[in-house]
């Protein structure tokens, strides 16, 4: 480091001092390094990127979903001007009138299928590689819950356009839930929300689709990624290298502690 000029050191200080200040109080920088800088097996391939691809699809869903929610109106009442339901009219308006609305709705609609397909491909990769085995069983279980949540997103989102396909597919879906033993009829009636599948069901599905299920999904994805980070990526079954290597310390020997400078006050 002696080679650095005085100016370089000043610049470094100006950038690193605030980061150190934050890191000392929050562990944010060391946490980020813990998350990002980890060993992966030498023989990973594109197959191991399916999880990240699914995550990317989910982020696209989340962003486009928030923006669609700015224009969509979950109401089954009849719009006096068009004579159609408000929900369907707002979908028509997003698709046909609002600038680039067709694109964002298309991303959300088709991206939903992409998300589910990627989840299945990811699941297949993990299964075929045996990556669900000790110590990654909980990662698999949270992944299955993510798949269930993804399907619930598909079920609740399908109703929202409020057209004939959406309506009758949801009638069938709700009654399908209704045939589950014991609790089924109660679940079906809760979802329907009354004597017919109408405005209450639409609002209920909208709330589930944009608030309840995404919340659960984000929490599960957080746990899933934490476990992946903590336990590391598994080697392919044909790998010649032994499994179970310890991860390197967050602050390798010889490196400066904290972010890169000073001893910090943390641990």
Partner 1 sequence: MGHDLSDTGHDTAHLPGPSLWPIGFAIGVACLLLGLVISWIVAAIGAVLAVVFGLLWARDVTRDVRDEVPAIEPETRAVADAAAAATPAATPAPLPTYTRSRFLEASTLGLGAAIGAVVTLPVLGFMVLPSFTNLEEGEADLGPIDNFPKDKFMIASYLANPTAGEVTRRTAFVRNNGPSESGEPSFTILYSRCVHLGCPVQPNGPIDEAETKNVNGVELRPVLAQSFGCPCHGGLYDAEGNRQAGPPVRSMDRYAFSIKDGHLVLGELFAVGNVSGTGANATISRYPWSVPGTHVDGIEAWLYPIVPSQVTG
Binding footprint of partner 1 on the chain (CB under 8 A):
76-78, 85, 134-135, 167-168, 171-172, 174-176, 178-179, 181-182, 184-186, 188-190, 192-200, 241-246
Tokens of 146: 């993510």
Q: How many whole angstroms separate alpha carbon 99 and alpha carbon 93? A: 10
188, 155 Cβ separation under 8 angstroms: no
Please identify, using beta-carbon distances, which residue of 70 and 238 lies nearer to partner 1. Answer: 238
Dist. CA 152–CA 154, nearest whole Å: 5
Give the Cα separation of 197 and 158 in Å (integer). Answer: 14
User: Least separation, in Å, of the C-beta of 122 and partner 1?
Assistant: 22
CB of 137 to partner 1, least distance (A): 10
User: Taking the complex as a whole, how short is the minimal distance between the CB of residue 28 and partner 1, in angstroms?
Assistant: 29
Contacts (Cβ under 8 Å, ≥6 apart) of 162: 76, 85, 87, 88, 91, 202
Closer Cβ to partner 1, 68 or 201, answer by number: 201
Name the DSSP letter for residue 98: S
CA angle 149–152–154, rounded 5-degree value: 115
- Give me 163's structure tokens: 């057209």
Whichever of 156 and 199 has its CB closer to partner 1, that residue is 199
Question: In the bound complex, what is the minimum distance in angstroms from residue 172's beta carbon to partner 1?
Answer: 4
Task: Find tokens 């150190």 and name the residue.
Answer: 20
Rounded to a whole number of angstroms, the minimum distance from the CB of residue 249 to partner 1 is 13
- Minimum separation from the CB atom of position 259 to partner 1 (A): 27
Expressed in angstroms, the distance from the first to the final Cα of the chain is: 24
Nearer to partner 1, 184 or 262 (CB): 184
In angstroms, the CA 267 to CA 254 distance is 17
By beta-carbon proximity to partner 1, the closer residue of 8 and 43 is 43
- Of 9 and 172, which CB lies nearer to partner 1 in the complex structure? 172
């Amino acid at each position: 480091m002696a080679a650095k000029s005085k100016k370089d050191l000043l610049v470094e200080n100006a950038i690193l001092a605030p980061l150190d200040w934050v890191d000392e109080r929050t562990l944010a920088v060391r946490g980020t390094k813990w998350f990002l800088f980890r060993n992966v097996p030498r023989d990973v391939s594109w197959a191991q990127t399916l999880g990240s691809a699914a995550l990317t699809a989910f982020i696209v869903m989340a962003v486009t979903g928030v923006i669609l929610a700015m224009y969509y109106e979950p109401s089954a009442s009849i719009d006096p001007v068009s004579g159609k339901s408000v929900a369907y009219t707002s979908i028509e308006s997003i698709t046909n009138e609002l600038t680039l609305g067709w694109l964002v709705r298309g991303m959300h609609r088709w991206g939903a299928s992409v998300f589910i397909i990627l989840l299945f491909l990811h699941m297949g990769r993990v299964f075929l590689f045996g990556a669900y085995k000790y110590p990654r069983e909980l990662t698999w279980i949270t992944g299955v819950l993510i798949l269930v949540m993804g399907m619930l997103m598909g079920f609740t989102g399908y109703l929202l356009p409020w057209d004939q396909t959406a309506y009758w597919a949801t009638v069938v879906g709700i009654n399908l839930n209704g045939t589950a033993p014991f609790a089924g009829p109660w679940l079906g009636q809760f979802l329907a929300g009354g004597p017919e599948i109408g405005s209450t069901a639409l609002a209920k599905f909208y709330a589930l689709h944009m608030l309840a299920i995404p919340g659960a999904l984000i929490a599960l994805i957080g746990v899933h990624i934490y476990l992946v980070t903590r336990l590391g990526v598994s080697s392919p079954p044909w790998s010649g290298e032994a499994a179970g290597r310890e991860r390197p310390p967050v602050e390798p020997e010889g490196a400066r502690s904290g972010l890169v400078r000073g001893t910090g006050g943390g641990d």
